[in-house]
Amino acid sequence: MLRIAVALTATIGLGIIDVRLSAAGAMPPEELRITRFLGEQRLPYKAQFAGTTVGGLSGIDRDPRTGTWYFISDDRWRYNPARFYTGRLDIDRVTGKFSGVKLTGVTTFLRPDGSPYPAYGQPDSADPETIRFDRWGRRVLWGDEGDRPDETHSTIPVSDPSVRWADRSGKHLGELPIPGNLKLTATAAGPRRNFGFEGLTFTPHGIAAIVEGPRYEDGDTPTVEHGAPARITVWDRHGQLRGQYAYPVDPLPAAPVPPSGITDSGVSEILAIDDHRYLALERSWIEGIGYRVKLYEIDLRGATNVLSRDSLSAGVPYRSVSKRLLYDLGSFHPPVQNLESLAWGPRLTTGECTLVIGSDDNFDDREITQFLAFAVRGC
């Protein structure tokens, strides 16, 4: 049986204190907690569907009206153009049993001129990483990490990160304004390569997106000695920028083997609980160790708006968002996979919410496309 440790709110940043106030006479909200594991389902490696190769599923979401699920692939036209799938996850609302996953459709994302996005390494190529279904506008919002050259990929052209609207047929409907500090460059400035938009969520009154890790100006990437800040950008429902906040990524949970080995650590997805509180997946890949993933609850209240700050590694101190560990997913289901997706499923008759966490197999036969379902209270 899944054992969930009850932890006090952990505050990480520069002396931030997490104080939650309620209206006079009102009871404070129930603390979010995972109550039970509901099951696991997988898709076969490189499954074929409607003429496409399935894999790289790095974002999921659900339309609560129809029960349709949306799955975005981060395939950069290695196999097929940038696309999303639709499908079904079978979760019994009475028992909570998670018994099946099935794909039902596939849609290609289109550029404003109606053409698919170019393949990897070409100008204006797309790197889809996250998707949300807009229940109000009946459309999708998706995050593109963008691309840029670096020391080992000197010929890659700059393609800016973006958060784009599309209808359910893939037609481009517009995009959100991106802060200047998140524009990619060909120099050691702005976001690093593969550290663009990785997580996206609708809040009750807005939209939020997070980049995976620190910009060059915000400090070095995480090591076992120190963490690093990633920026959460917030818009209102009309797409107007409202703020930006620092999320403190943990230090690496272990050193690579060998010590000079490759590491990659940051935030792979966020999911709103309300306007201020989100869930956040922190994922690390460490050479010689493998994946490590933790699920946090974070709170933006009390955090400093850093939208106008070009650097988080020097200058005036700031307050990061607060974070509380909900669960170490590596200790639950080893070997932990490349978990990159978070979405709310149907509410159960018990009153519990369902939370689905999905993995991106990187089109690698050593990894799997996996969906884990949990019951949650306090949501």
E strands along 155-301, which residues?
162-166, 172-175, 197-202, 206-211, 228-236, 241-249, 263-272, 277-286, 290-299
Q: Which amino acid is at 137?
A: G
Rounded to whole angstroms, the Cα distance separating 360 from 285 reads 13
SS3 196: coil
Residue 110 pairs in a beta bridge with 116
Q: Is 23 inside any structural domain?
A: no
Q: Is 85 inside any structural domain?
A: yes
Q: Is 27 inside any structural domain?
A: no
Asked whether 315 and 309 are in contact (CB, 8 A), the reply is: yes
Give the residue with greater pLDDT, 10 vs 360.
Answer: 360
Q: Is 21 inside any structural domain?
A: no
Q: Is 12 inside any structural domain?
A: no
Q: Which of the four pLDDT bands, split at 50, 70 and 90, describes residue 153?
A: very high
Residues 6+ apart with CB under 8 A from 215: 181, 182, 189, 190, 191, 192, 195, 231, 312
Best CA proximity match to 211, nearest among 242, 171, 184, 241: 184
pLDDT at 3 over 70: no
Count of the separate structural domains present in the chain: 1
- Structural domain for 69, as ranges: 33-377
CA distances from 117 to 80, 155, 267 (A): 10, 19, 25
What predicted TM-score, i.e. pTM, was given to this entire model? 0.92
pLDDT at 270 over 70: yes
Q: Which amino acid is at 77?
A: W
Structure tokens at 145: 């990490």
Q: Is 151 inside any structural domain?
A: yes
pLDDT at 185 over 70: yes
Q: Is 17 inside any structural domain?
A: no
Q: Is 69 inside any structural domain?
A: yes
| CATH number for the domain harbouring residue 90 | 2.115.10
Q: Which of the four pLDDT bands, split at 50, 70 and 90, describes residue 234?
A: very high
Task: Give the percent of the chain with pLDDT over 70.
Answer: 92
Q: In terms of residues, how long is the chain?
A: 379
